[in-house]
Chain A
Amino acid sequence: QKEVEQNSGPLSVPEGAIASLNCTYSDRGSQSFFWYRQYSGKSPELIMFIYSNGDKEDGRFTAQLNKASQYVSLLIRDSQPSDSATYLCAVKEAAGNKLTFGGGTRVLVKP
């Protein structure tokens, strides 16, 4: 069974600091990777996707992908209290076009 692993947290960061979240996956053939943010009781919202090795930046968010090591990470720069949420990593299977989600990392940004 294909797996996506995340540290459940909580990851506590002071306001203005960088939050670093990691995700590892087992399906070596996976090509597309997604980060979603989910506030408590709400639906997941897409932050960004990445499919090439290296970094992809979007505002205060940077996704990093290393297919050889099978991990994808998310950096949140200048963290704000509104960034306090659970961040879900999702990996698209090489075959079948389905997403497998990690359990999520809870982030707490303290003023």
Chain B
Amino acid sequence: DADVTQTPRNRITKTGKRIMLECSQTKGHDRMYWYRQDPGLGLQLIYYSFDVKDINKGEISDGYSVSRQAQAKFSLSLESAIPNQTALYFCATSDSGLGPDTQYFGPGTRLTVL
């Protein structure tokens, strides 16, 4: 079983719709992250959470919100989707107590906004 899971894996939606992407992990890590990746580009950090009560904005948080429902769950919401939010979205986790705090990624959600 995968340690970091994301649902849905693919989603097509229309402009103006609200959409939620979910991330769950069984690694027992305390830190969780949401990134987006546009074709041919690296990863941009949207939001991150170092524990259940901690939420921080990343470099591109406008138009997004998050919820850390439990240590193992971190969801990303697009309140009113727009076409330039079409991208590949990755959730990642890390353990602050282990060495270099390496991040491990989920399989990704491919989101298309029409």
State the A residues within 8 Å of B (CB).
1, 4, 8, 32, 34, 41-46, 49, 51, 88, 90, 92, 97-99, 101-104
Contacts and interface: CB of A to CB of B under 8 A. Distances in A.
B31 to A, nearest CB: 8
A39 B110 CA distance: 15
Interface in B30-77: 31, 40-45, 48, 50, 58-59
Say what secondary structure dominates the interface of chain B.
loop
A104 B37 CA distance: 11
A25 to B, nearest CB: 13
A39 to B, nearest CB: 11
B40 A49 contact: no
Contacts, number: 51
A43 B9 CA distance: 12
Interface size band for B? 20 to 34
B55 to A, nearest CB: 14
29 contacts: A1-B59, A8-B40, A32-B100, A32-B101, A34-B100, A34-B103, A41-B88, A41-B108, A42-B107, A42-B108, A43-B90, A43-B106, A43-B108, A44-B43, A44-B105, A45-B105, A46-B102, A49-B102, A51-B100, A88-B42, A88-B43, A92-B101, A97-B50, A97-B101, A98-B48, A99-B45, A101-B43, A102-B42, A104-B41
Nearest to A44: B105
A85 B108 CA distance: 17
Given A42-B107, A43-B107, A98-B58, A34 B102 contact: yes
A92 B90 contact: no
